[in-house]
Amino acid sequence: MLFGDTIALGPILPVDVPRLFQWADDAEDARLNEPYRPLNWHQQEGFWLNAERDPTRAFFAIRSREAGEIIGYVQISRIEPIHRSATIGIRIDRAERGKGKGREALRLAIDYCWSHLNLTRLTLSVFAGNETAIGLYATLGFREEGRLSAALFIAGNWTDVILMALHHPDRPAAAPAGGLLVISSPTPLCR
């Protein structure tokens, strides 16, 4: 487990599945992620409890250190060891929002990605109207890299999706898109 001051990140347990299902099947909260659709219990159970079978994803339960109960989760997906990148996402129970636990969980998860997975770049997507999440991501160093205009139809409205990324501060970024990486050498590389 990974420990913060008020929360810990650890494995998803079978006892967590009912809460995870409840969150995923909440039409009000779904509008922050995707169009709402009723879910299948067995598919959700398999999704959450079989993550270790897929090396491109890692899921963490966010647990209150005080009570030990699940209060949210962090998903790390599309883990690309060659490109040293992944996509990250978070969900916090409504009752726990605004208490700094999401920030603490993301800091732990980002450190996990840098230290344990040896990643250099993390990406995420967020709906343009989710100002609280956008502000949180910005304070952690994520920067907007693009916007998909009217990309999704959520609760009767077209919604823009903002693409954000965070680069490891101590690791060099790749060559600019379309550019060449120039290596200077005191002697010619070819003769």
As annotated, the active-site residues are 137
As given in the structure block, the two tokens for residue 155 are 């609760």
Distance from C-alpha of 190 to C-alpha of 187, rounded to nearest angstrom: 9
Residues 4 and 99: their CA atoms lie apart, in Å, by 14
Helical axes 131-139 vs 101-115, angle rounded to 10°? 50
Q: Which two tokens stand for residue 124?
A: 């995420």
Closest to 101 in 3D by CA, of 63, 68, 146, 129: 63
Token pair of 125 as six digits? 């997507």
Using alpha carbons, select from 122, 156, 151, 125 the residue that is nearest to residue 36: 156
